[in-house]
Amino acid sequence: MRKARWFFVGLVCVGLGLPEGMASAAPTPAQEAAAGKLFDAAVAEVQAGRYAEACPLLEQSHVLDPKPGTLHALAECEVKIQKLDQALAHYREYLALYAAMKSPLREKHTERARVAEEQEKKLLAEILFNRAVAHRAAGRHAEACAALAESQRIDPTPGTLYALAECEATRGRMATALGHYTTYLGLFAAMKSPLRERHAERARIAEEQRKKLDAETPRLKLVWAGEVPEGVVVSRGNTTFDLKTLGASVPMDPGEYAFRVEVPGRPPQDRNVRLEKGDRKILELTPGATQEAKDERQPLPEQPLPPPPQPIAPSKPEMHPWAIGGIAAMGLGGAALIAGSVLGGLAMAEKREVDAVCDANFACGVEGMKTVERFWALGNASTATFIVGGVVLATGVTLFVLSPKPTAEKVGSVRVRGLAGPGAGYLGVDGTF
C-alpha cells in the first residue's frame, strides 16, 4: 500500500512539473489547490453515496496536502467500503498526529479523535472476528477461539460472546463454554427491543446448551482436612488458587490438571487429577493424603430390606346388632338385680328395727313409725328394682339367643342363672363368646 501510494505521489509530482523530492516538503500553493479540488470532489461522491469513488479522491488529496482532517475522512470512507485494515491503519495514523498536536488545533480535533479511538477498537475487534470466522471454516478451532476472545476483550458485544461460547463448546472446553453461555443469557435478560428480538433464537439455543453442559461438565472439589495452616499456597501453573473456594465443586474443562501445594516448613507436593466428561471428583490437598482423586458421588449405603409383611389375622366376624343389644341389656338387667339385692338387704335391716320398736299389736310410737316407713320404702324399691332388672335381663337374653350367629367361627353358648326375692337376689351369667 505504501509503495503504491508513493508511486502515485511521484506521478502527481511529475504531472505538476515538480521535482519528486518535494513530495516530503511543505505543499506548494498549487498542490494545496489541487488537494482542495480533490477533497471537494470526494465530498460530492460521498453525498451521492458513491464511497468507492470517494475514497481514492480523498487519498490523492491527502498525498498532495497531508492534513489530519483529510486522513480522518479517508479512514471513515474506507470503513464504508469495508476496507477495514486500511481504515484501521489510517485511524491509528490520525491518532498519532493528534497526539502531537498543539492548541488550538488540538481542541478542533478533540471530537474527531474521540470517534477515531472508538472506531479503532471496533475495527480491530471486527477484523479479529472475521479472522475467527475464517479459522473456524478451516477447522482451526483453537485459533478461532483465541481471535474471538481477543475481539470480545477489545469490544465486548453479546454477539461475539455467543460466537465464543459456540467455539469453545465445539473444541470441547465445556466449563469455559458454560461460563460464556451463562454470561450471554444474563445479557439477553437485560436486553430491550428490538435488540432482544434479534437475539431471541440465539438465546433459545444458548439455554439448551447451558442445560446440556451443566449436566456434562466435569467438576472438581479441592478439600483440606481440618484448618488450613497459615502461609499455605496452592497453585496451578502460574495461577494461585484462592483458598476461599476450598470445598466448592468447581466446573472444569476436561483434561489433566496439576496442583502444587506449598506448606511452610515442608517440601512442595504435587497433586494431579484427570477429568473426563461428567466426572465429579474430590482431591485432598492435605500433606500426606492420598494422591488419588475420589469420586464425589459416593455410592449410597445399601438400604436394608423391608421386613416381610406380617400375616394379617383373619378378622373376627362382626357381632349382630341384636346380640350386642342383648349383651348390653343383660348387663343392665344384672346391675338392676344387684341393686335390688342391696335394697332388699337394707329393707331386712330396717325390719329388725321394726321388730325391736313395735309390740305384738304393732304399736310402734312416733319414732317407730318412721322406721316402719323406711322399711316399706326400701322394700318397695327393692321389689321394683328386681322386677325391672328381671324384665331387662330376660329381654337381653331373648335378643342374644335370637340374634343371627356368625358363620366364620364358633360362638359359645350363654347361660344365665338367677334368683330374685323381696329380701335377696342372685344373678349368674357364664359361657363363651
Q: What is the pLDDT of residue 424?
A: 44
User: Which single residue is written with the C-alpha cell 453479546?
Assistant: 158
Q: Measured between alpha carbons, how far is residue 389 from residues 266, 335, 340, 401 in Å?
A: 101, 7, 8, 18
Q: What is the pLDDT of residue 145?
A: 97
Give the Cα-Cα-Cα angle 248, 251, 255 (nearest 5 degrees). Answer: 120
Distance CA(375)–CA(369), nearest Å, equals 10
Q: What is the pLDDT of residue 372?
A: 67
In order along its 433 residues, the chain shows pLDDT tens digits of 333 333 233 323 333 333 333 345 689 999 999 999 999 999 999 999 999 999 999 999 999 999 999 999 999 999 999 999 999 999 999 999 999 999 999 999 999 999 999 999 999 999 999 999 999 999 999 999 999 999 999 999 999 999 999 999 999 999 999 999 999 999 999 999 999 999 999 999 999 999 999 999 999 999 988 888 889 999 988 889 888 888 899 999 999 999 999 999 889 988 899 999 999 999 988 887 776 777 776 544 444 444 555 656 555 556 777 667 767 777 776 776 677 677 677 767 766 776 666 765 656 666 666 666 776 676 777 677 768 767 766 776 776 677 676 654 444 555 545 544 444 444 454 555 4
Q: What is the pLDDT of residue 168?
A: 97
For residue 380, the surrounding DSSP H or E stretch is: helix 365-402
* 151-169 as b/e: b if 16+ CB within 10 A: bbebbeebebbbbbbbbbb
Q: Are the beta carbons of 422 and 344 closer than 8 angstroms?
A: yes
How far is C-alpha 149 from the chain's CA centre? 29
Q: Residue length, the chain? A: 433
Q: What is the pLDDT of residue 105?
A: 93
Q: What is the pLDDT of residue 12?
A: 31
Distance CA(143)–CA(131), nearest Å, equals 9
Distance CA(92)–CA(86), nearest Å, equals 10
* 83-103 as b/e: b if 16+ CB within 10 A: bbebbbbbbebbbebbeeeee
- Which residue, among 74, 69, 72, has the nearest Cα to 117 in the 3D structure? 72
How far is C-alpha 327 from the chain's CA centre? 66
Distance CA(60)–CA(35), nearest Å, equals 7
- Which residue, among 431, 410, 415, has the nearest Cα to 317 in the 3D structure? 410
| Phi, psi angles (nearest 5°) of residue 288 | 90, -10
Calculate Rg over the CA atoms of the chain: 56
Distance CA(86)–CA(75), nearest Å, equals 7
Q: What is the pLDDT of residue 213?
A: 96
Q: What is the pLDDT of residue 95?
A: 96
Neighbours of 170 (CB within 10 A): 14
Neighbours of 241 (CB within 10 A): 18
| Percent of the chain as helix, strand, coil, to the nearest 5 | 60, 10, 30
Side-chain-facing half-sphere of 156: CA atoms under 13 Å: 5
Q: What is the pLDDT of residue 11?
A: 28
Distance CA(301)–CA(298), nearest Å, equals 9
Distance CA(300)–CA(235), nearest Å, equals 33
